[in-house]
């Protein structure tokens, strides 16, 4: 329990007081007028579910409070420079995250999200997940990788890029052995992949696959476990262990469910644990929820009744299958099966948050969030752009008549440097979660694995072009080596050396790049 030392003093007393205040607030709201009016004015998701008789047993968010009376910490960050930790709280009770406190604490270095605190009285905090039977130990997600706005305030979501996950084993109050529950999360349809498994919800106590029906978690991604799936996804699915279910038959029975690729998505699962589950999704910025499936539990043995074990997972599968990428802004789990009316009220509350991009970022700049293409400036090669091809990184000619694939491969999303916020990293436009990184001096496109080595290898520090034009990019961990094209392959190269790609001939021009608008916005 050492990690709890960084929490607000007397955490259990604080939680008890908070629970009392939340109850009082609900009573006051009920006595002060019509329930609908009070709810619209003051109630947040867990207040709404509690008023409907299905209270939250877990409430996690890095962006905002999920109870109107919550005033504690949302999450804890850990600093790379000295290992120190700090809690990130709220600007006001029941309000939004104090992102400026994180920025101040992490200035000049990098931070990871070390703990995501449970706002419910159950203390079901999420800690970085250790190794399981299907994946190695995880890393914490970079704390500043997903800047967004909520309620008009800058806040940070959680960006998962493979080998990142959080867990609370044997959580208090979470459904076990066929008891009913519900859950939702706000995620994103623009940062997904087909690897297993971007989940939030009920998982095993042991980090292992213990059989059919031992999980009950929302899954969101483009992995089609049971064919047919319609469209290209990503889909909201139920990870019930040994399958991502879109219906009782496994595969989708809803031809209109082609996925939800909105920038912000509300994904919802509820399950009575015996003979019924439902899947819903909606645009978290506007509109209502759409029911994608509501009906019987899967027909395969083990799912009716369910055998949930009552742990909580975020970002991986129950056995720590941790190849997935995804985004997380908020989520809750309830005791009991929520009503459709409560779900609809929660969706309305989520929409009222006004989730959005951190700020409009013009394409073609090195501002994090911008998308760019990098063009060679060496005479005779000025039609060539940095692009990935079969995981290797090369330069090739790209123009208006090039294929959509080539244009996408030659476009990169600028991110804050994974190892240093004053530098930059380049995320693949076509393969979200994959970054430009060097290994043995050569450049590759590889999925972020969360390690310190990967972060350093994937970080480049811009400086004035060595040829006097454009921009040169120094390797973060080899600062005398710069991003260079040589024989159409990319390396980090020094100005002279024993390797052929270190040749001083045309070095200054080869390491100078024109940063411009992307071929694939």
**Which positions are annotated as active-site residues?**
241, 319
The CA dihedral of 361, 366, 368, 373, to the nearest 10 degrees, is 80
Q: Would you state the structure tokens that stand for residue 416, as one six-digit string?
A: 């804050």
- Can you tell me whether residue 51 is helix, strand or coil? helix
SS3 call for 297: coil
Residue 85: Cβ within 10 Å count: 16
Q: Distances from the Cα of 505 to the Cαs of 435, 463, 464, in angstroms?
A: 29, 20, 19
Rounded Cα distance between 218 and 447, Å, is 23
Q: What is the DSSP letter of 506?
A: T
User: What are the backbone dihedrals phi and psi of residue 29, each rounded to the nearest 5 degrees, phi first?
Assistant: -60, -40
Concatenating the DSSP letter of every residue in 128-164 gives: E---BTTBPPPBPPBTTS-EEEETTEEEE-EEEESSB
Report the DSSP pairing between strands 412-416 and 460-464. unpaired
Q: Mapping DSSP to helix (H, G, I), strand (E, B) and coil, where does residue 36 land?
A: helix
Record the tokens describing residue 98, joined without a space: 């104090």
Q: Which residue matches tokens 């109107």?
A: 68
- Cβ 112 vs Cβ 140: under 8 Å: yes
Residue 272 parent element (H or E) = none
What are the two backbone dihedrals, phi and then psi, of residue 128, each rounded to the nearest 5 degrees?
A: -60, 130
Q: How many residues are recorded in the chain?
A: 521
Cis check: omega of the bond before 228, within 30 degrees of 0: yes
How far is it, in rounded angstroms, from Cα 57 to Cα 183?
A: 10
Structure tokens at 56: 């939250």
Q: Are strands 424-428 and 153-156 parallel, antiparallel or unpaired?
A: unpaired
Of the candidates 118, 1, 23, 10, the one whose C-alpha atom is nearest the C-alpha of residue 62 is 118
Q: What is the CA radius of gyration of the chain?
A: 24
Closest CA to 294 of 251, 235, 342, 246: 246
Cβ pair 246, 295 in contact under 8 A: no
Task: Count Cα atoms within 13 angstroms, Cβ side, for 193.
Answer: 23
Alpha helices for 354-421 (secondary structure H):
404-409
> Residue 502, SS3?
helix
b/e map 412-443, b = 16+ CB within 10 Å:
bbbbbbbbbbebbbbbbbbbbbbbbbbeebeb
């Amino acid at each position: 329990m050492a990690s709890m030392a960084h929490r607000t003093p007397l955490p259990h007393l604080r939680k008890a007081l908070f629970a009392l205040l939340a109850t009082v607030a609900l009573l006051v709201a009920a006595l002060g007028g019509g329930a609908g009016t009070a709810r619209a004015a003051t109630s947040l998701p867990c207040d709404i579910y509690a008023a409907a008789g299905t209270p939250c047993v877990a409430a996690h968010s890095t962006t905002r409070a999920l109870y109107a009376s919550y005033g504690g910490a949302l999450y804890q960050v850990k600093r790379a420079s000295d290992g120190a930790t700090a809690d990130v709280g709220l600007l006001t009770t029941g309000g939004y995250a104090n992102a400026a406190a994180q920025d101040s604490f992490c200035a000049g270095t990098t931070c990871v999200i070390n703990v995501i605190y449970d706002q419910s009285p159950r203390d079901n905090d999420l800690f970085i997940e250790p190794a399981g039977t299907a994946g190695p130990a995880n890393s914490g997600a970079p704390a500043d990788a997903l800047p967004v706005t909520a309620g008009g305030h800058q806040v940070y979501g959680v960006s998962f890029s493979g080998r990142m996950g959080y867990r609370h084993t044997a959580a208090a109050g979470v459904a076990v052995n066929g008891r009913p529950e519900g859950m939702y999360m706000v995620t994103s349809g623009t940062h997904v992949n087909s690897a297993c498994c971007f989940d939030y919800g009920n998982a095993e106590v042991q980090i292992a696959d213990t059989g059919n029906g031992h999980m009950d978690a929302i899954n969101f991604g483009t992995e089609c476990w049971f064919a047919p799936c319609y469209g290209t996804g990503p889909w909201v699915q139920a990870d019930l262990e040994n399958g991502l279910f879109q219906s009782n038959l496994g595969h989708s029975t809803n031809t209109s469910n082609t996925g939800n690729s909105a920038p912000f998505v509300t994904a919802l699962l509820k399950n009575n644990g015996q003979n019924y589950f439902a899947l819903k999704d909606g645009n978290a910025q506007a509109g209502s929820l759409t029911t994608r499936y509501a009906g019987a539990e899967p027909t395969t043995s083990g799912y009716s009744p369910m055998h949930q074990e009552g742990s909580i997972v975020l970002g991986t599968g129950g056995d720590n299958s941790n190849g997935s990428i995804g985004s997380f802004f908020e989520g809750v789990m309830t005791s009991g099966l929520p009503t459709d009316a409560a779900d609809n009220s929660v969706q309305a509350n989520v929409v009222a948050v006004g989730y959005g991009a951190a700020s409009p970022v013009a394409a073609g700049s090195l501002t994090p969030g911008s998308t760019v293409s990098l063009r060679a400036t060496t005479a005779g090669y000025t039609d060539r752009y940095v692009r990935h091809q079969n995981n290797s990184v090369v330069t090739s000619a790209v123009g208006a008549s090039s294929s959509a694939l080539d244009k996408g491969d030659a476009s990169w999303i600028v991110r804050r440097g994974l190892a240093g916020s004053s530098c930059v990293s380049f995320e693949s436009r076509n393969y979200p979660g994959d970054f430009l990184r060097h290994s043995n001096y050569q450049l590759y496109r590889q999925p972020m694995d969360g390690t310190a080595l990967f972060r350093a290898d994937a970080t480049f520090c811009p400086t004035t072009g060595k040829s006097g034009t454009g921009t040169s990019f120094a390797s973060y961990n080899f600062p005398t080596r710069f991003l260079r094209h040589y024989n159409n392959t990319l390396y980090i190269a020094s100005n002279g050396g024993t390797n052929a790609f270190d040749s001083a001939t045309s070095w200054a021009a080869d390491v100078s790049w024109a940063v411009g608008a992307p071929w694939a916005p």
